[in-house]
Amino acid sequence: LMVLKSTGLHDFLCALMHIFFAVLQNSMNLPPDKARLLRQYDNEKKWDLICDQERFQVKNPPHTYIQKLRGFLDPGVTRKKFRRRVQESTKVLRELEISLRTNHIGWVREFLNDENRGLDILVEYLSFAQCAVIIRPLTTGSKLQSLDLLHIMLCIICCSYGSVANSKTIKNSRLVSQKDDVHVCIMCLRAIMNYQYGFNMVMSHPHAVNEIALSLNNKNSRTKALVLELLAAVCLVRGGHEIILSAFDNFKEVCKEKHRFEKLMDYFRCEEGNIDFMVACMQFINIVVHSVEDMNFRVHLQYEFTKLGLDDFLEKSKHTESDKLSVQIQAYLDNVFDVGGLLEDAETKNVALEKVEELEEHLSHVRTNTLSNSAITGCITPMDVSSKSSIRYIEYDRHNLFNNYKYLAIRIKKPIKTKFRLPVFNWTALKPNQINGTVFNELDDERVLEELDMEKFEELFKTRAQGAMVDLSCTKSKASIKVANKVQLLDANRSKNLAITLRKASKSTEEICKAIQTFDLKALPVDFVECLMRFLPTEAESKLLRQYERERRPLEQLAEEDRFMLLFSKIERLTQRMSIITFVGNFADNISMLTPQLNAVIAASASVKSSPKLKRLLEIILALGNYMNSSKRGCVYGFKLQSLDLLLDTKSTDRKMTLLHYIALIVKEKYPELTNFYNELHFVDKAAAVSLENVLLDIKELGKSMELIRRECSLHDHAVLKGFLQTSDPQLEKLQKDAKTAEEAFSAVVMYFGESPKTTPPSVFFPVFVRFIKAYKVCEAPLPSRQLCVCVCVCVMLLRRTNRGRSKRKPNSMSPRYDPADL
């Protein structure tokens, strides 16, 4: 390169290298983030990649593998010749898998194009390879092994490609099934599906997914696990769930199952020793059952697996030692719909409502009796003791009944009947037993509904009419060997790094060691001490230095770094001294860093808990949510704070207004005193950035280090450390008190809002309010301002579409659709 620079060709070669690198990058088919990382390489690494790519040569073109696979499928070949050919089938498939995985995208596209039709050949060979595997379990153990039954099964399996199935085909397939061809075929399909182009071809192929599903009959557990991973990937894309269910319907027909997924559950139960397969199987079941949006269909799929004994098996297996399997099992159990439990809750609610009606009737009778007794008492002047006792008893009974009625009225809310069907507000509700002591116990959402115009609300938010609606790495190590004039005992790299560190101090070895012994931070900057902490002598280094000294060899022959390490290792209690110096030097910075974080948590917790305007706003949200959900889910008594994020997702009928827009509107019209509620919430943005757990751990470490200094002062008289203790001890005590106050204040406010301090740190709790305040400020902005934002965004969208048209993008590329309500 130096020669090229001197000749003036450097700029030309750099430009040429960038052209080669761009061609190389296009052939790799990398995602945008990986391509961006590759472009950040320096010129030397880019040139290495180009050279490596030039050295790599494609071993065979695609048609070579396709011709060999067609030769294996040739029905006219003799059995002896087929035996000879099939010996190399696994090798050919492995080479094909490596080529599909490692060659550039152009090679893969050529393999899959209309001329070669590589996917058709691969799927046909997979069907041929497992033909005997599928028929064997259907005929083994049965006395009805007639030619008619065998002919029917062969027709089912082989009719996909119109091939003639006979006993010769079955014998050839049996030879192939004894090898790893099915497993390697699945690996080839996985390599194809790693590309979006190949994945779409597999999805649209009429038989590919069916044949992959039939590969579950393979004896190899690794093959079955790989098959389930591919099927799970297909299930997660749009339209993939129907394809997977269709594939298992085909599996049921071909394998003569009584119930769909029957063999899958049999394999799941029989492979208890193979954790990888069980994890893949459980993950697949989770995706198949719980990726469906239709709740009724999800319950139907759940019941399919329940009939096959999944629930009982999971009950036995949920205490497994495998963390991965335990996570998948727990995920399934957490998402199960307990229909019986929901029905029981509804019946309990009806019984409670009947009890309320009885108590109301009883209370009416008691009041009537009380009034009549009062009238009689007013007419009769002489009152005996028994009459007074009776009246007191009736009053006491009335009071108790009224309290019981009031308690039940709070606990059970009557459903709200709406004129129109309203969208469901998908909040996370709190259970009735979680309300006591929280802010929701102080809210009266029914009063809010009486104050608001709910007919207008229904007109805005009624639903529409129901109808048709590989990482790359390139490393090089270059070692330069220098001839050392002096004796080196330390490792070369460690010695070089130590020399660089010592040069920063600009002091002699004796001055550095003396400063460490006297804790002199004026002589040694704390940054230098922290760097020096990495060079504390190891046991092996100390042993070498002591041996050199025992041999009485001259110290002048040692390199400067080794001589420093020799004196450095002789300092008494070196590790403790270095830790103390680092702690003392950083103490002031630690105090100034931790104190504002604690103050932010304390102030934010107090302001959020004591804000009356925030309570009123939550009351309005609870009222509107219950009004929307009452007919479908019933009324609730409170909700998780994370539900505030969903206010922007619930939109009006014309999709021009969200629920948060409506709340901002009624606050402005009906409750103007709540408009600036966010002014009562102080420092929530700063508290949202605090990791209280890490702050408390840092303070605990400061306490341990301070205790280490106290022990050092009790053993030795150090004026520097004693002076530090006198000034810093009170600061640490105050910091520890602030930490306790912050922890107590935060726990109180989290529990006040129905959350758990253990699972809801400040970095989760306070950002909810930060996001809510920002969204509310946008929604309360005047309408012209919002319309201006919408117009600007629409103009940007149209400009992007125009640019895409000019750049001649593919006609079937999907353009993003923008909803003004989202803006």
The length of the chain in residues reads 823
Which tokens hold the place of 271? 């492979």
Residue 1 CB coordination number (10 Å): 11
The Cα–Cα gap between 674 and 616 comes to: 8
CA distance 18 to 4: 16
Environment class of 530 (CB within 10 Å of its CB; exposed 0-12, middle 13-18, buried 19+): middle
Residue scoring higher pLDDT (720 or 615): 615
Could you tell me which residues come within 8 angstroms of residue 156 by beta carbon, excluding any fewer than 6 positions away? 253, 254
Instruction: Report yes or no: 108 and 195 within 8 Å, Cβ to Cβ.
Output: yes
In 3D space, the residue among 602, 536, 605 whose CA is nearest the CA of residue 753 turns out to be 605
Residues 6+ apart with CB under 8 A from 537: 545, 565, 568, 569, 574
**Helix or strand or coil: residue 429?**
strand
Mean pLDDT of 90-94: 88
pLDDT band at 372 (very low <50, low <70, confident <90, very high): low
pLDDT of residue 799: 52
pLDDT 10s digits, 776-821: 999 987 655 555 554 544 554 555 555 444 444 443 433 333 343 4
Q: Which two tokens stand for residue 155?
A: 């027709």
Q: How many CB atoms lie within 10 A of CB 596?
A: 12
Burial 629-642 (b: 16+ CB within 10 A, else e): bbeebbbbbbbbbe
Q: Which of 71-75, 84-88, 93-97, 149-153 has the highest mean pLDDT?
A: 93-97
At residue 694, the 3 state secondary structure works out as helix
Query: Is the pTM for the entire model greater than 0.75?
Result: no
Residue 801 is predicted with a pLDDT of 56
Nearest to 334 by CA among 289, 293, 271: 289
User: What pLDDT does 164 receive?
Assistant: 40
Q: Which residues pair with 429 in a beta bridge?
A: 639
98-122 in b/e form (b: 16+ CB < 10 A) is ebbeebeeebbbebbeeebebbbbb
Look at residue 386 and tell me whether its pLDDT is greater than 70: no
Is the pLDDT reported for residue 54 higher than 70? no
Mean pLDDT of 425-441: 75
- DSSP H stretches of helix in 29-166: 32-39, 43-55, 62-73, 79-86, 89-102, 105-112, 118-129, 131-139, 147-158
Q: Which of 479-483, 599-603, 738-742, 799-803 has the lowest mean pLDDT?
A: 479-483
Q: What local confidence, expressed as pLDDT, does residue 355 receive?
A: 81
What confidence category does residue 588 fall into, taking pLDDT thresholds of 50, 70 and 90? confident
What tokens were used for 110? 């050529």
pLDDT at 220 over 80: yes
Distance CA 394, CA 383 (A): 16
Among candidate residues 162, 172, 5, 19, the one with its CA nearest the CA of residue 85 = 172
pLDDT band at 381 (very low <50, low <70, confident <90, very high): low
Instruction: Specify the pLDDT at position 241.
Output: 93
Residues 664-673: contacts with CB within 8 Å, 24+ apart?
Answer: 664/776, 664/779, 664/780, 666/452, 666/620, 667/617, 667/620, 667/780, 668/780, 670/451, 670/452, 671/616, 671/620, 673/613
pLDDT for position 475: 37
Across the range 495-504, mean pLDDT stands at 74
Highest mean pLDDT among 137-146, 310-319, 484-493, 714-723: 310-319
Question: In terms of pLDDT, which residue wins out, 4 or 413?
Answer: 413
> In whole angstroms, what is the distance from residue 5 CA to residue 642 CA?
61
Per-residue model confidence (pLDDT) at position 802: 54
pLDDT higher for 476 or 207? 207
Rounded CA-CA distance 748/743 in Å is 9
In 688-811, beta strands by DSSP E: none
Per-residue pLDDT reduced to its tens digit, 750-763: 999 988 888 889 99
Confidence of residue 585 (pLDDT cuts 50, 70, 90): confident
Domains of the chain: 2-55 (no CATH), 62-256 (1.25.10), 258-337 (no CATH), 339-412 (no CATH), 492-586 (no CATH), 781-822 (no CATH)
The per-residue pLDDT for 80 is: 54
* Cα dihedral sign, 399-400-401-402: positive
pLDDT digits (tens, 9 = 90+) for 19-40: 766 766 665 555 666 667 767 7
According to DSSP, residue 442 is labeled G
Mean pLDDT of 690-713: 87
222 or 19: which carries more pLDDT confidence?
Answer: 222
* Average pLDDT for 324-349: 82
pLDDT of residue 363: 86
Position 742 scores a pLDDT of 92
CB contact at 8 A, 91 and 182: no
> How many angstroms separate the CA atoms of 61 and 538, rounded?
57
Q: How confident is the model at residue 266 (pLDDT cuts 50, 70, 90)?
A: very high
Q: What pLDDT is stored for residue 229 in this prediction?
A: 94
What's the CA gap between 339 and 295, in Å, rounded?
Answer: 11
What string of DSSP letters covers 655-671?
A: SS-BHHHHHHHHHHHH-
The answer to whether the beta carbons of residues 265 and 305 sit under 8 Å apart is yes
| φ, ψ (nearest 5 deg) of residue 171 | -65, -45
Predicted confidence (pLDDT) at residue 287 exceeds the cutoff of 90: yes
User: Do residues 58 and 99 lie in contact, with contact meaning Cβ atoms separated by under 8 Å?
Assistant: yes
Tokens of 463: 């639903």
The sign one gets for the Cα dihedral 449, 451, 457, 459 is positive
Query: In this structure, are residues 616 and 667 in contact, taking their beta carbons and an 8 Å threshold?
Result: no
Over 50: is that where the pLDDT of 368 sits?
A: yes
What is the CB neighbour count within 10 angstroms for residue 159?
Answer: 10
Higher pLDDT, 444 or 232: 232
Whether pLDDT at 179 is above 90:
no
Q: For the residues 293-297, what does the mean pLDDT come to?
A: 88
Please count the other Cβ atoms lying within 10 Å of the Cβ belonging to residue 311: 14
How sure is the predictor about 82, in pLDDT bands with cuts at 50, 70 and 90?
low
Neighbours of 28 (CB within 10 A): 15
Residues 475/476/482/487 CA torsion (nearest 10 deg)? 30
Choose among 248, 275, 260: nearest CA to 310: 260
Mean pLDDT of the chain: 76
What integer pLDDT is reported at residue 213 of this predicted model? 94
Residues 6+ apart with CB under 8 A from 450: none
Q: Which of 68-77, 275-284, 542-551, 803-812 has the lowest mean pLDDT?
A: 803-812
Which phi and psi (to 5°) does residue 44 adopt?
A: -65, -45
Distance CA 371, CA 367 (A): 6
Tokens representing residue 618 in the block: 């939550």
> CA-to-CA distance for 287 and 499, rounded, in angstroms?
58
Q: How confident is the model at residue 482 (pLDDT cuts 50, 70, 90)?
A: very low
Among the residue ranges 315-319, 334-338, 343-347, the one predicted with the least confidence is 343-347
- State phi, psi for 390 to the nearest 5 degrees: -65, -40
Residue type for position 555: L
Q: Residues 544-564, buried b or exposed e (16+ Cβ, 10 A)?
A: bbeebeeeeeeeeebbebbbb
Instruction: Give buried/exposed letters for 781-803 (b at 16+ CB in 10 A, else e).
Output: eeeeebeeebeeeeeeeeeeeee
The pLDDT of residue 149 is: 38
Q: Is the pLDDT of residue 659 over 60?
A: yes
Helix extents (H) in 412-490: 445-451, 454-461
C-alpha radius of gyration, the chain, whole number: 39
Total Cβ atoms within 10 A of residue 223: 22
Check pLDDT > 80 for residue 556: no
